[in-house]
């Protein structure tokens, strides 16, 4: 396995972990939240440098559902990250010690609301982004652990695990009231970090898992559905 590829994959997963970490604002506090966010954006710059050639290949993208969805999701992720970056600058308290007259309130309540809204949409889009690349990640895992032969038993176990993750993700979506965040609705109901910290991360990871599983199997279904159509046309 190419070491550079593993290096890139590690930093991509680290950026995703920092996104999850940053969502726990009321547990982290502002300083840790801004440091985690800054590190995440630095890793995203590294990610885009490594993948700079992909942008040049977009005009030549094949007009098939998976490829077009990949371009659309990447564009949505870019828009979401830019929204996060701009609003984070407007509401930053850390900049108060660097920039004169900066008090972190330039954007006001609206900027904070957009920041939260963008953060949770980015979480969902990142999960879909990972779901589109899950076959690649599975291939990396197979190569690392030397799993070369197919196994019906292993496939069944993995499918049961995927189903369990999806069910937990649906439950966690209600537990964290993710729909309210994605709809940009104002609510005072939020996770009580004084009672449990780990539970928040477990629920958030389960939600990510739900969208990864849903995307992966949706793409598998789409591929099987389009194959017969392609065969008829040929």
Tokens standing for 12? 């991509």
Tell which residue, 198, 146, 203, has the closest CA to residue 169: 203
Read off the pTM: 0.86
Q: 133 to each of 49, 126, 187, 204, 219, how far by Cα in Å?
A: 19, 11, 34, 20, 10
Q: Containing domain of residue 205, as a range? A: 3-233
Q: How many domains does the chain have?
A: 1
**pLDDT tens, the chain, 234 aa long:** 567 777 888 888 999 999 999 999 989 888 899 999 999 999 999 998 888 888 888 877 777 777 888 899 999 999 999 999 999 988 887 766 565 555 555 556 788 889 999 999 999 999 999 999 898 888 888 887 777 788 888 889 999 999 999 999 999 999 999 999 899 887 666 788 888 899 999 999 999 999 999 999 999 888 777 665 444 444
In the chain, the N- to C-terminal Cα span, in Å, equals 36
């Amino acid at each position: 396995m190419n070491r550079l590829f593993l290096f890139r994959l590690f930093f991509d997963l680290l950026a995703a972990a920092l996104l999850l970490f940053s969502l726990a604002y009321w547990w982290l506090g502002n300083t840790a939240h801004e440091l985690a966010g800054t590190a995440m954006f630095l890793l995203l710059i590294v990610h885009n440098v490594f993948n700079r050639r992909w942008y040049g290949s977009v005009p030549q993208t094949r007009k098939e559902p998976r490829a077009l969805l990949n371009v659309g999701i990447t564009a949505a992720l870019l828009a979401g990250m830019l929204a996060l970056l701009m609003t984070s600058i407007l509401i930053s308290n850390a900049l108060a010690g660097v920039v004169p007259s900066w008090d972190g309130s330039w954007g006001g309540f609206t900027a904070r609301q957009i920041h939260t809204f963008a953060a949770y949409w980015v979480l969902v889009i990142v999960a879909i982004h990972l779901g589109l690349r899950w076959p690649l990640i599975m291939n990396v895992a197979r190569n690392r652990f030397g799993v070369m032969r197919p196994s019906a038993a292993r496939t069944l176990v993995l499918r049961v695990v995927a189903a369990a993750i999806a069910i937990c993700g649906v439950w966690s979506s209600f537990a964290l009231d993710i729909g309210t965040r994605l709809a940009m609705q104002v609510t005072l109901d939020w996770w009580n970090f004084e009672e449990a910290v780990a539970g928040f991360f477990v629920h958030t990871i389960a939600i990510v898992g739900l969208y990864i599983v849903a995307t992966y199997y949706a793409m598998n279904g789409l591929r099987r559905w389009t194959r017969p159509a392609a065969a008829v046309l040929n």
